[in-house]
């Protein structure tokens, strides 16, 4: 990791390399912000974080401190170390994309995590198509017993963070989710996308 602090403006994303045993935090700078986190093996970009495989191994709908998160090859990529936010987090949703905003009544030019992933990873001269699925940090979509999702406003406060340790050399991409339109009547971000920070510790 070249820089110890990487600031991510609202509606944007950033990518960085981490070595095995590096520890880092993803910080919600102003509160009420969703952070999509993508994790890719630095050695082989076809190996990346798999929410489905991770859920199969940990046997719960979302990882919590103490859990590994796993690659599509069943190898631990990160250890989830610490969480100062009230949660919840989400490991069920794909990154938002132009069609998501069209469905919400917006237009295809709306900023979105999919395009921000391409842009961030492109700055490292890497192409991955389509994007892997992310770990949606601070995202308050809780599965109910009947299978529906309950959508809620994001509960994290300014300065809340989640902390991870890399278990292999990885590239992480963090996007400040752009979902500033209501979903099921809920304004998850309070109307606008706000900054995040990646902090090596
Ligand atoms: Zn998003």
For residue range 12-36, what is the model confidence (pLDDT) as tens digits? 999 999 999 999 999 999 999 999 9
pLDDT digits 0-9 by tens, 166-185: 999 999 999 999 999 999 89
**pLDDT greater than 60 at residue 59:** yes
Q: Phi then psi for 118, rounded to 5 degrees? A: -60, -45
Q: Check whether 89 has a pLDDT greater than 90.
A: yes
Q: Tell me whether the omega of the peptide bond preceding residue 88 falls within 30 degrees of 0, making it cis.
A: yes
The boundaries of the domain holding residue 119 are 5-200
- 96 CA distance to ligand 1 middle (Å): 4
Question: Ligand 1 centre from 154 Cα, in Å?
Answer: 13
> Alpha-carbon torsion 106, 111, 113, 115, what sign?
positive
Phi, psi of 200 (to 5 degrees): -80, 135
- Taking the centre of ligand 1 as the mean of its atom positions, its distance from the CA of residue 36, in whole angstroms, is 7
How many Å lie between the centroid of ligand 1 and the Cα of residue 42? 23
pTM of the entire predicted model: 0.97
Measure 78 CA to ligand 1 centroid, in angstroms.
21
- Please tell me the total count of domains within the chain: 1
């Amino acid at each position: 990791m070249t820089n110890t602090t990487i600031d991510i403006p609202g509606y944007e994303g950033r990518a960085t390399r981490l070595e095995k045993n590096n520890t880092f935090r993803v910080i919600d700078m102003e509160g009420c912000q969703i952070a999509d986190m993508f994790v890719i093996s630095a050695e082989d970009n076809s190996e990346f974080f798999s929410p489905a495989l991770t859920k199969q191994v940990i046997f719960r709908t979302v990882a919590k401190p103490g859990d590994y998160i796993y690659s599509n090859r069943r190898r631990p990529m990160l250890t989830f170390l610490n969480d100062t936010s009230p949660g919840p987090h989400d490991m069920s949703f794909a990154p938002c994309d132009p069609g998501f905003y069209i469905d919400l009544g917006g237009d295809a030019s709306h900023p979105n995590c999919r395009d921000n992933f391409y842009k961030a990873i492109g700055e490292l001269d890497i192409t991955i198509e389509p994007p892997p699925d992310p770990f949606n940090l601070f995202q308050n979509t809780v599965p109910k017993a009947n299978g529906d999702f309950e959508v809620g406003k994001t509960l994290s406060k300014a300065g809340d963070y989640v902390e991870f340790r890399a278990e292999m050399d990885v590239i992480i991409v963090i996007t400040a989710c752009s979902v500033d339109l209501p979903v099921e009547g809920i304004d998850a971000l309070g109307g606008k996308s706000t900054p995040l920070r990646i902090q090596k510790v």
